[in-house]
Amino acid sequence: MNARALFMGTAAAAVMAVAGSLAPVTALAEGAAANIVRAATDLPAPLARQTAETVSIELETIELVGQLDDGTTYRYWTFDGKVPGPFARVRVGDTVEVRLKNHEDSWMVHNVDFHAVTGLHGGGHATMADPGEESQGFTFKALNPGLYVYHCAVPLAAQHIANGMYGLILVEPEGGLPPVDREFYVMQGEIYTEEAHGSRGELGESYDKLLNEMPEYYVFNGAANALTEGKALHAEVGETVRIYFGVGGPNKTSSFHVIGEIFDKVYNLGGLTAEPLTDIQTISVPPGGAAAIDFKVEVPGEYILVDHALSRAARGLVGKLIVEGPEQPDVYREGVPERLGLLAE
């Protein structure tokens, strides 16, 4: 299997970026900023194979000016031009060949450290690449199933992560995960700009705020309010959904919550071999950590993805899951009988 198969949807996302931004933010006057938001639907399908194989992951580190907020841009450092980087999907026992190239227009050295790797720096040592260079790469055996973060680990790693260099790799257990109707890919991060939240134009990074852990922006999939409007998550009443949720960080633990829903199952901390937690309201996901969350959507409406440290919502950390279908008054309806006149007789 090649990287294209592993990262199905990346090309489609690139086409969408060219065709016009689907992000809720409006076009900038200069029109030069890229849409760096990776769609929550941009992940490969379950592998559905019974045997281990040799698979390839090919990444390119790209620095580019992207749209951070309405009228606001930022120079992102990315894997493959989007935040988060591509969702990698392998199976336990697979032998994985990782190749990393650093785009010639980069200013910085980059690499990649996969938490799914057992070995030196998670591959970080073998993937160091100067601008315009390709690293020697590395090969690893996926020993432990789970949902893992990967990230750039070039010093100062916190800076590379804050600028967008993180993603998830799923190592499917034998037999895979229980099937669901829809799978989504969501990651949380922080951005430390010199200018205050809400400033317009191209913002610069603040080293002081980074070291003091005082971000101006909090983001799902790279930009303020990115997973709303044209990039909201969608499902139909009665479907089961799974969110692969990770925190790039670099610093803040997420108290991930979906307003109006209860997580039926949580693969806590990304562990896929223990029994999942059940009936959970909010999960705690540390930087460099992840969780898979399953729930059935029983009632139509707009469900809001948040970090329940809710001040962060005002700094960009809001997403939406839009559920369509017939009303389910047995599960939820507005009003109580006497207020609706139903007890009149």
Q: How far is the CB of 274 from Cu ion (least distance, A)?
A: 33
Which span (15-23, 133-141, 160-168, 214-222) binds Cu ion, by CB under 5 A?
A: 160-168
Which span (26-34, 104-112, 185-193, 255-263) binds Cu ion, by CB under 5 A?
A: 104-112
CA distances from 89 to 40, 127, 149, 186 (A): 15, 19, 12, 15
Other C-beta atoms closer than 10 Å to the C-beta of 85 total: 28
DSSP class per residue in 270-315: G--SSPPEEEESEEEE-TTEEEEEEEE--S-EEEEEEESSGGGGGG
Tokens of 258: 């979906």
Report the distance separating Cα 292 and Cα 101, nearest Å. 29
Q: How far is the CB of 110 from Cu ion (least distance, A)?
A: 3
Q: Is residue 89 near Cu ion by the rule CB under 5 A?
A: no
Residue 152 marked as a ligand binder: yes
Question: Half-sphere exposure of residue 335, counting CA atoms within 13 Å on the CB side?
Answer: 8
* 289-296, strands of its sheet edge to edge: 217-220, 182-191, 240-249, 289-296, 263-267, 277-280
Single residue of 38, 91, 110, 151 touching Cu ion by CB under 5 A: 110
Q: Which residue in 20, 82, 96, 316 sits closest to 193, CA to CA?
A: 316
Report the distance separating Cα 212 and Cα 340, nearest Å. 54
Single residue of 99, 103, 160, 231 touching Cu ion by CB under 5 A: 160
Q: Is residue 162 near Cu ion by the rule CB under 5 A?
A: no
Residue 111 or 228: the one with the smaller Cβ distance to Cu ion is 111
Which span (159-167, 175-183, 194-202, 228-236) binds Cu ion, by CB under 5 A?
A: 159-167
Question: How many chain residues touch Cu ion (CB under 5 A)?
Answer: 5
Q: Is residue 154 near Cu ion by the rule CB under 5 A?
A: yes
Residue nearest to Cu ion (CB): 152
Q: Is residue 312 near Cu ion by the rule CB under 5 A?
A: no
Report the distance separating Cα 222 and Cα 205, nearest Å. 15
Q: How far is the CB of 116 from Cu ion (least distance, A)?
A: 18
Residue 151 marked as a ligand binder: yes
Q: Is residue 14 a contact partner of residue 35, using CB atoms and an 8 Å limit?
A: no
Residue 234 marked as a ligand binder: no
Residue 308 marked as a ligand binder: yes
Q: How far is the CB of 154 from Cu ion (least distance, A)?
A: 5
Residue 63 or 69: the one with the smaller Cβ distance to Cu ion is 63
Interface residues with Cu ion (CB under 5 A)? Answer: 110, 152, 154, 160, 165
Binding residues: 110, 115, 151-152, 160, 165, 308
Annotated binding site for Cu cation: 110, 115, 151-152, 160, 165, 308
